[in-house]
């Protein structure tokens, strides 16, 4: 299940998948990993539930094995989740269908999202919703760290595909290497590395942890 993470400031990820029950777990994992990569893990549970509902609707109403695409787009305080498929039949939210199987899924999306809707595309349709992240989840410190680690990780000259494939563990390793290099730089400039670490720890503890 390949993912394509765009480099623009909105942070966009495209995940093609086949509409199969066995793919749902992998799709949820991929979405959670991407949110962790972006530094917004607090939205993971809600996002995984939304992804499950949207993908399940494709399985039930378009057909098992149908090609589809999940798109995640982080826009500061909101996360947009879209699922595209090749059917042009648009679902409708009807109060009378609240107890129906399809109706429950749509009502669940409407309850969890701050906005949602459908759109006809050149290839079929898209069902989308936007999840509120809040200002803490869009913390500039986390965003700066992600951008720096991605840039730092690419210094070794590894191909982009290789970096994407080992993104989760790779960024952790890059963080360790970056901290180590910064400590070497600190010592080379005549500063006390332990003192710098203590100050960094104090600043970290003074800011609420968005992952809490």
Question: Residue 51 sits in which domain range?
Answer: 4-137
Task: Answer for the pair 13, 72: CB distance below 8 angstroms, yes or no.
Answer: yes
Residues 128 and 194 in one domain: no
Q: In what order do the strands lie in the sheet with 125-132?
A: 4-5, 12-18, 67-75, 78-85, 125-132, 115-120
25 belongs to a structural domain: yes
Answer whether residue 3 shows pLDDT above 70: no
Residues 88 and 166 in one domain: no
Residues 108 and 35 in one domain: yes
Q: Which residues pair with 120 in a beta bridge?
A: 125
Residues 98 and 157 in one domain: no
Return the DSSP state at 208: -
Q: What's the structural domain count of the chain?
A: 2
Last residue of a domain, one of 107, 137, 167: 137
211 belongs to a structural domain: no
Last residue of a domain, one of 120, 137, 154: 137
Residues 144 and 110 in one domain: no
Write the CA distances from 57 to 77, 126, 147, integer angstroms: 27, 12, 35
Q: What is the pLDDT of residues 116-136, one digit of tens each?
A: 899 999 999 999 999 988 665
Last residue of a domain, one of 108, 137, 166: 137
**Any idea of the CA torsion for 126, 9, 13, 130, to the nearest 10 degrees?**
-40
Mean pLDDT of 44-66: 91
The two three-digit tokens of residue 82, written as one number: 């879209």
0.85 exceeded by pTM = no
Residue labelled with tokens 């494709």: 58
């Amino acid at each position: 299940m390949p993912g394509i993470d765009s480099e623009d400031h909105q942070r966009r990820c495209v995940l093609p998948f086949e509409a199969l029950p066995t793919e749902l777990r992998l799709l949820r994992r991929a979405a959670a990993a991407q949110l962790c990569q972006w530094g917004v893990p607090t939205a993971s549970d809600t996002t995984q539930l939304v992804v499950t509902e949207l993908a399940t609707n494709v399985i039930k109403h378009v057909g098992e094995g149908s090609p589809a695409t999940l798109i995640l787009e982080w826009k500061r305080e909101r996360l947009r989740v879209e699922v595209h498929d090749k059917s042009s039949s648009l679902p409708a939210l009807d109060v009378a269908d609240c107890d129906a199987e399809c109706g429950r899924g749509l009502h669940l999306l409407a309850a969890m999202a701050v906005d949602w809707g459908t759109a006809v595309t050149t290839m079929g349709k898209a069902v989308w919703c936007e999840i509120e992240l809040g200002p803490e989840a869009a913390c500039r410190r986390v965003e700066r760290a992600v951008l720096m680690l991605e840039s730092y990780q690419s210094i070794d000259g590894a191909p982009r595909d290789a970096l994407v494939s080992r993104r989760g563990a790779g960024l952790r390793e890059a963080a360790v290497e970056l901290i180590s290099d910064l400590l070497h730089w600190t010592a080379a400039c005549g500063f006390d590395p332990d003192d710098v670490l203590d100050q960094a720890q104090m600043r970290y503890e003074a800011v609420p942890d968005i992952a809490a």
